[in-house]
Structure 1
Amino acid sequence: MNLTMFFGKIKTIGGIMMNNTHFIIERIEDKNAFIKLCYLEKSFYLEKQEEEWIPMSRLLVDSDEKQLIYIVEVGQEWKYIRFPLSVWKSLDEVIAKEQDLFLVLSLTEEGEVHKSIPLKDFSQEGRELIRNMLNNMNYGEGMSSIIEEEFSETIK
């Protein structure tokens, strides 16, 4: 799925009903040796984000879609930040090096970061989730081997 957000898809992941707004991470870039920034699709930044985004320190996996999901609270609802397989190698570095990961919420007219929030406990939650998924067939056929390949630095 190549959309920033989608509505109406209801499924259960990790015991949580997933019927709120979802956002897909497009890319992850280094800010410095200790921080990485994750960006949503450009269309997200066309709308001003007025409400406060609160990181929930919760990381889940959608093994059907091969995506990790970080939960943030915005107003009275949860928003799901989805990390597709295409950015997992960058997440491997974040987790293995215990770097901070920030979600970019707004950009200046020049395209520079204006506002971002830390995705609290991402490295710790990611490490625990990856360890749980290794050699665990409950996440679906082949998922363990994908985890071994994509998160090789974290597993060392």
Structure 2
Amino acid sequence: MREKMNVVSATITKEKELHLIVEKEIKIADFKPLGQMLVDSDDVSFIYLLEKNEQYTYLVMKEELWNLLKDSLAEGLPVFLKNDAGQCELPSFVDELEYLIENIKGNGNYGETMVTKVEALF
């Protein structure tokens, strides 16, 4: 089974960056961002792929974070994974998320709930 890492909060900084905050116990330096995103329709979440020890880890962004994701897309902000122990930039985040959003709209393959929520916000 793939490991999941939940984003516990997010913030747009005065430097115009989106910071996705994870638990402080996580050593961010152990993870390699892969520049790809997926959707978890059952959990109504966007997922960014990370790699650790040649295994995938899902960085999960649940619906309560979507307003900040929308704001960061509108401004084209760089996105960082962050906690007290460190940070790393998540390449291709904006492009991947924009692609997923456009693909989800009107596409029943993602499930009615996911489509409805994405269409309502984005």
Decide: shared fold, TM above 0.5: yes
Aligned mates of 2:32, 2:76 — CA distance in 1: 21
In structure 1, stretches of 5+ residues that fail to align are 1-18, 108-113, 152-156
- Picking from 83, 103, 115, the partner of 2:61 is 83
What is the aligned partner in structure 2 of residue 144 from structure 1? 115
What is the aligned partner in structure 1 of residue 37 from structure 2? 59
CA contact (8 A) 1:51 1:75 kept: no
Q: Percent identity?
A: 24
1:99 aligns with 2:70: no
Note the C-alpha offset of 1:55: 0.7
Aligned residues: 122
1:5-154 to structure 2, matched below 5 A, reads 19-40=1-22, 44-46=23-25, 49=27, 52-104=30-82, 106-107=83-84, 114-151=85-122
TM-score (structure 2 length as normaliser): 0.90
Note the C-alpha offset of 1:128: 0.5
Larger Rg: 1
Alignment root-mean-square deviation, CA: 1.7
**Structure 1 outlier segments of 4+, above 3 Å:** none
Gap change, CA 1:126 and 1:141, over 3 Å in 2? same
Note the C-alpha offset of 1:33: 4.9
Could you report, residue by residue, the CA deviation over 1:46-101 in whole angstroms, capped at 9, with x for unpaired residues? 35x28532110111000110010000111221111000001011111122221111
In structure 2, stretches of 5+ residues that fail to align are none
More contact order relative to length (CA 8 Å, sep ≥ 6): 2
Aligned mates of 2:58, 2:81 — CA distance in 1: 12
* More helix as a share of residues: 2
What is the aligned partner in structure 2 of residue 111 from structure 1? none
Aligned mates of 1:39, 1:142 — CA distance in 2: 26
